[in-house]
């Protein structure tokens, strides 16, 4: 399935909030577990620009299609973060700069090293590194979209459901981009397949796990991806990964969800 960049350029834009009745949260507020997940999602959406920093120091910056997509992708993710910030503020919680400024200040040396590890990976692996990045992006967009879907289902709040449905629609376009890029770059390239398998198997963590406190990662996974429906959601993502050339049988998403479920008990 090819990604239509021209069509995406026509459709991309700031998340449409017309008719989203944020004031409804003051009347019928969300439960604490949902809000805790939203805080996580808010922080990670706003962190996208830092992920972009790491991606642009690789050979990705030489690919016009990738940089075109990313110019719009980072903009859309920013507005996802802002929309969630408004939900948090309606509950008397910090959102936007009030959370992001302290978060950026609290980032560790691990974050500062990310551009170097990406740069080194790209230099050593060569063009195959793009297959890793695009597959990684696809997995993160799949899990993000599934996470929003599960949160909407569990919270069962009409205004949150509508907001998350709109966000999920844009995540769907991000999925289309990354998964089509991944499939094309893995196809008939055994080296790219081996490298991507290795990276996902050994290094993949749920999106945000590198910047959020472990307790928050645990909570998010346990809340969204445990139980029968949570398990079904992670297995669905693993089956999508299986369909990418050379990546059958990894099971990384179910594994991550299972591990988190065990340690949180």
Nearest CB to Fe ion, comparing residues 99 and 174: 174
171 binds Fe ion (CB under 5 A): yes
Q: What angle do CA 146, 234, 186 make, to 5 degrees?
A: 90
CB 260 within 8 A of CB 216: no
Total interface residues for Fe ion by CB under 5 A: 6
Q: What is the CA radius of gyration of the chain?
A: 18
Can you tell me the distance from the alpha carbon of 263 to that of 179, in angstroms, rounded to the nearest whole number? Answer: 31
When asked if residue 43 is in the footprint of Fe ion (CB under 5 A), the reply is no
Is 35 or 74 the residue whose CB approaches Fe ion more closely?
74
Q: What is the smallest separation between the CB atom of 137 and Fe ion, expressed in angstroms? A: 9
* Interaction of residue 176 with Fe ion, rule CB under 5 A: no
Alpha-carbon distance 215 to 156, whole Å?
A: 24
Q: What does the angle CA 105 – CA 107 – CA 111 come to, to the nearest 5 degrees? A: 135
Please state the closest distance from residue 161 (CB atom) to Fe ion, in A: 16
Only segment of 45-53, 101-109, 126-134, 210-218 that touches Fe ion (CB under 5 A) = 45-53
Q: Which stretch binds Fe ion (CB under 5 A): 60-68, 89-97, 136-144, 147-155?
A: 136-144
Only one residue has tokens 């509950």, namely 91
Distance of CA 171 to the CA centre of its chain: 8
Closest CB to Fe ion among 44 and 200?
44
In degrees rounded to 5, what are phi and psi of residue 125?
Answer: -80, -25
> Closer to Fe ion at the Cβ: 174 or 185?
174
Q: Does 77 bind Fe ion (CB under 5 A)?
A: yes
**174 belongs to the binding site for Fe ion (CB under 5 A):** yes
Q: How far is the CB of 102 from Fe ion (least distance, A)?
A: 21
To the nearest whole angstrom, how small is the minimum distance from the Cβ of residue 190 to Fe ion? 29
CA distance 77 to 55: 15
Range in contact with Fe ion (rule: CB under 5 A) among 21-29, 62-70, 135-143, 194-202 = 135-143
Question: What is d(CA 14, CA 163) in angstroms, rounded to the nearest whole number?
Answer: 13
Binding site for Fe ion (CB under 5 A): 45, 77, 80, 141, 171, 174
């Amino acid at each position: 399935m090819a990604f239509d960049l021209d069509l995406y350029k026509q459709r991309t834009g700031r998340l449409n909030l017309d008719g989203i009745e944020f004031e409804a949260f003051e009347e019928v507020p969300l439960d604490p577990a949902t809000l805790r997940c939203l805080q996580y999602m808010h922080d990670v959406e706003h962190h996208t620009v830092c992920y972009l920093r790491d991606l642009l120091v690789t050979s990705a910056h030489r690919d016009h299609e990738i940089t075109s997509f990313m110019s719009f992708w980072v903009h859309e993710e920013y507005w996802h973060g802002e929309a969630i910030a408004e939900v948090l503020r309606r509950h008397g919680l910090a959102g936007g700069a009030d959370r992001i400024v302290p978060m950026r200040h609290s980032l560790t040396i691990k974050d500062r090293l990310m551009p170097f590890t990406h740069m080194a990976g790209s230099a050593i692996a060569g063009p195959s590194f793009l297959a890793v990045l695009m597959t990684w992006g696809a997995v993160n967009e799949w899990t993000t979209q599934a996470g929003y879907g599960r949160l909407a289902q569990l919270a069962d709040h009409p205004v949150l459901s509508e907001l998350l449905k709109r966000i999920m629609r844009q995540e769907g376009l991000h999925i289309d981009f990354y998964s089509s890029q991944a499939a094309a770059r893995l196809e008939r390239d055994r080296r790219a397949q081996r490298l991507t398998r290795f990276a996902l198997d050994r290094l993949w963590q749920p999106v945000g796990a590198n910047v959020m406190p472990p307790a928050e990662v645990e909570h998010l996974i346990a809340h969204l991806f445990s139980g029968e429906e949570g398990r079904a959601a992670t297995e669905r993502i693993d089956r999508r990964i299986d369909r990418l050339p050379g990546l059958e049988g990894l099971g990384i998403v179910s594994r991550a969800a299972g591990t988190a479920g065990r340690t949180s008990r």
